[in-house]
Amino acid sequence: MNILEKLYCRVFQFGFKLAIPILPYRNPNILNQVDQIPKLLKEKDLCSVLLVTDPSIRGLGLTKHLEEILKKNGIKTAVYDKVQPNPTVSTVEEARQLYLQQDCKALIGFGGGSSMDTAKAVGALIARPNSTLEDLGGILRVWLRTPYTIAIPTTAGTGSETTVAAVILDDESGHKYALMDFPLIPDVAVLDPETTRTLPPRITAGTGMDTLAHAVEAYIGNSTTKLTRREALRAVRLVFKYLERAVKNGNDMKARRGMLRASYLGGCAFTVSYVGYAHAVSHSLSGQYNLPHGETTAILLPYVLEAYGTSIYPQLKALAIAAGVAHMDTEEALAAQSFIRAVWELNRKIGIGTRIPGIKKEDITKMARMAAKEGNPVYPVPVLMDAKALERFYYDVYEEGGTRS
Ligand SMILES: NC(=O)c1ccc[n+]([C@@H]2O[C@H](COP(=O)([O-])OP(=O)(O)OC[C@H]3O[C@@H](n4cnc5c(N)ncnc54)[C@H](O)[C@@H]3O)[C@@H](O)[C@H]2O)c1
Ligand SMILES: [Fe+2]
């Protein structure tokens, strides 16, 4: 990246960092169970909702109790249950049509990041009926109040229940992008670890490492605050304590609770302090090949940390202490390297590999351009890279002749 581009990125990021205290960040109101939802909706005179979820979650019966209590309390509920991983523009459009046809007044996103983001994106289109999702992509483009939104995460996770973001895939171009604006922060989040009990080990592993990537990328970036550093470190501590346990025994509810908390804290940290190139590269790959976001990001994270080199050693030392793999008196370089090793090791223990099968070399230039477009100038990464420099990560995870399992 040339010096002028670097300067532009850093000035842009510094401007946003200075603005943090005056920007309207807020946290959702937290509920522990869905049982409190009908009363809350009635208090707000919201008697008609769109419940947005995916077929597996509804098929597993996770939404059943909520649907029943909404009905019992006279709240008209339309259900959109066709969300797929990496939700698309057409999915959001279909859900929006249902919202309008059924004259809904509020949204409930029940599921992983895909269902919550679909609900949030429907909210953006309701607030801005004359815009397309593409128009609203990027930073601070929604502006207007979205319908009252309740997020119920069933993965731990994306942290979408507390973030400004909704990540959507353009099904025609394969471009995955984020809408990022304050009205997209849900009004309410229901944090009930029971909703994550049925999460299979592989998805528990990938989504849990996504949480780690949020906390780590937020922590090593240049736009941290005292609060986001604390949230990120707490999330890292919880992931290293509980993720392996949650993967190995899905019924370990202490571990599930710890991971749901970590996911929320990771979301709180990165919604203010942003993510970095592990996410930008991951979005381009999951958009191109429809890969699971968490697992893809998990594989990329240690490569990206290594590429930043010694510039992030002080932050990595703090992360190593939080992860329990170094002490205050451990030499900085040693502690930093221990943290990266600990990320590799955690990936290995929970069954996440080191390569992403199925990448086509001829797609790399295009994907790296998309990643650079997403990352620069918005993400306050410790070391700036342009599209050419980002290409290395696709080759790092490239697997000759590999096909996806
Ligand atoms: N908005 C944000 O701040 C944010 C942050 C990170 C990622 N994302 C986006 O979120 C999406 C990924 O979300 P995700 O990783 O939570 O996964 P997901 O919502 O795509 O779900 C993955 C799979 O897990 C299944 N699943 C979810 N909960 C389950 C449960 N309790 N039991 C059994 N199966 C369950 C789903 O049916 C699905 O098949 C991506 O599009 C990603 O880009 C958004
Ligand atoms: Fe993520």
d(CA 52, CA 137): 21
pLDDT range class, residue 174, cuts 50, 70, 90: confident
- Confidence at residue 401, expressed as pLDDT on a 0 to 100 scale: 63
Q: Phi/psi class of residue 404: alpha, beta or left (left: φ > 0; alpha: ψ in -120 to 50)?
A: beta
Please tell me if the CB atom of residue 199 comes closer than 6 angstroms to any atom of ligand 1: yes
d(CA 76, CA 102): 9
Closest to 316 (Cα-Cα) out of 348, 343, 352: 343
Q: Which two tokens stand for residue 61?
A: 């019966």
- Confidence at residue 74, expressed as pLDDT on a 0 to 100 scale: 96
Q: Phi/psi class of residue 324: alpha, beta or left (left: φ > 0; alpha: ψ in -120 to 50)?
A: left
- Confidence at residue 399, expressed as pLDDT on a 0 to 100 scale: 87
- Confidence at residue 300, expressed as pLDDT on a 0 to 100 scale: 98
Q: How far is the CA of 112 from the centre of ligand 2 (A)?
A: 11
For 179-228, what is each residue's pLDDT tens digit?
A: 999 999 999 999 999 999 999 999 999 999 999 999 999 999 999 999 99
Q: Please choose from 154, 171, 256, 378 the residue to mutate so as to test ligand 1's pocket, defined by most ligand atoms within 8 A of CB.
A: 154
d(CA 163, CA 275): 12
pTM of the model: 0.96
- Contact at 8 Å (CB) between 342 and 325? yes
- Confidence at residue 173, expressed as pLDDT on a 0 to 100 scale: 87
For 133-159, what is each residue's pLDDT tens digit?
A: 999 999 999 999 999 999 999 999 999
- Confidence at residue 265, expressed as pLDDT on a 0 to 100 scale: 98
Domains of the chain with bracketed CATH: 3-20+199-397 (1.20.1090.10), 32-196 (3.40.50.1970)
Distances 259 to 94, 143, 250, 292 between C-alpha atoms, Å: 32, 32, 11, 18
- Confidence at residue 400, expressed as pLDDT on a 0 to 100 scale: 76
- Contact at 8 Å (CB) between 123 and 88? no
Please tell me if the CB atom of residue 114 comes closer than 6 angstroms to any atom of ligand 1: yes
Nearest-5° angle of CA 137, CA 290, CA 385?
60
Asked if the model's pLDDT at residue 385 lies above 90, the reply is yes
Closest to 259 (Cα-Cα) out of 244, 248, 274: 244
Asked if the model's pLDDT at residue 290 lies above 70, the reply is yes
Q: What is the mean pLDDT of residues 249-272?
A: 98
Top pLDDT among 402 and 304 is at 304
Phi, psi (5° rounding) for residue 399? -125, 120
Nearest CA to ligand 1 atom 7: 158
Counting ligands in written order, the one closest to the CA of 110 is: 1
Q: What is the mean pLDDT of the chain?
A: 96
For 41-73, what is each residue's pLDDT tens digit?
A: 999 999 999 999 999 999 999 999 999 999 999
For 324-341, what is each residue's pLDDT tens digit?
A: 999 999 999 999 999 999
Q: Residue 368 is which amino acid? A: A
For 3-23, what is each residue's pLDDT tens digit?
A: 999 999 999 999 999 999 999
Q: Residue 404 is which amino acid? A: R
Looking at ligand 1, which atom is closest to the CA of residue 120?
1
Please tell me if the CB atom of residue 165 comes closer than 6 angstroms to any atom of ligand 1: yes
Q: Residue 397 is which amino acid? A: V
Asked if the model's pLDDT at residue 367 lies above 80, the reply is yes
Looking at ligand 1, which atom is closest to the CA of residue 282?
43
d(CA 106, CA 49): 5
Distances 110 to 80, 161, 215 between C-alpha atoms, Å: 10, 10, 23
